[in-house]
Amino acid sequence: MKICVPSMESTGLFSEISAHFGKTPYFTILEVENEEIKTIEIKKIESRHAGGKKTPAEIIIEINPDVVLCANLGLKAVEMLKEHGITINVGASGTVENTFKDFINGKLKLGTQNTVCMEGH
């Protein structure tokens, strides 16, 4: 399973989760087998908020993960990711490592139109 986590630094499992999905500077990408992390990849991104041409959701679609773990995101991003078969879990906080553990332990919520950020997104 490939998991994508919006993060603030390029320090892998120790990176803090990005609280604002649309402005995340990095994606930490985890390859997981049997609930164990096998590889970690860091992708620096330049989305529209940073002068790039794509939204974070469009970049994630190119990465093609099975799951996205994030603090929260807007409805448009949820719809785009779901159209491509990507599962979204929200409620992440702390580090990538803590977020992964919370996901494995079922502590994150499924990202739906009822659980997304509605502050102008």
Q: Which CATH number do you get for residue 11?
A: 3.30.420.130
Q: Does residue 18 fall inside a structural domain? A: yes
Q: Does residue 12 fall inside a structural domain? A: yes
Q: Does residue 23 fall inside a structural domain? A: yes
Instruction: Name the pTM for this structure.
Output: 0.91
35 φ, ψ (degrees, to nearest 5): 65, 20
Q: Which domain holds residue 50?
A: 2-110
Instruction: Render each residue's pLDDT in the chain as its tens digit; 121 residues.
Output: 999 999 999 999 999 999 988 889 999 999 999 999 999 999 998 765 655 688 899 999 999 999 999 999 988 899 999 999 999 999 999 999 999 999 999 999 998 776 666 554 4
Cα 65–Cα 71–Cα 74 angle in degrees, nearest 5: 80
Q: Does residue 57 fall inside a structural domain? A: yes
Please count the structural domains in the chain. Answer: 1
Q: What's the rounded Cα separation, in Å, for the pair 29 and 2?
A: 7
102 φ, ψ (degrees, to nearest 5): -60, -40
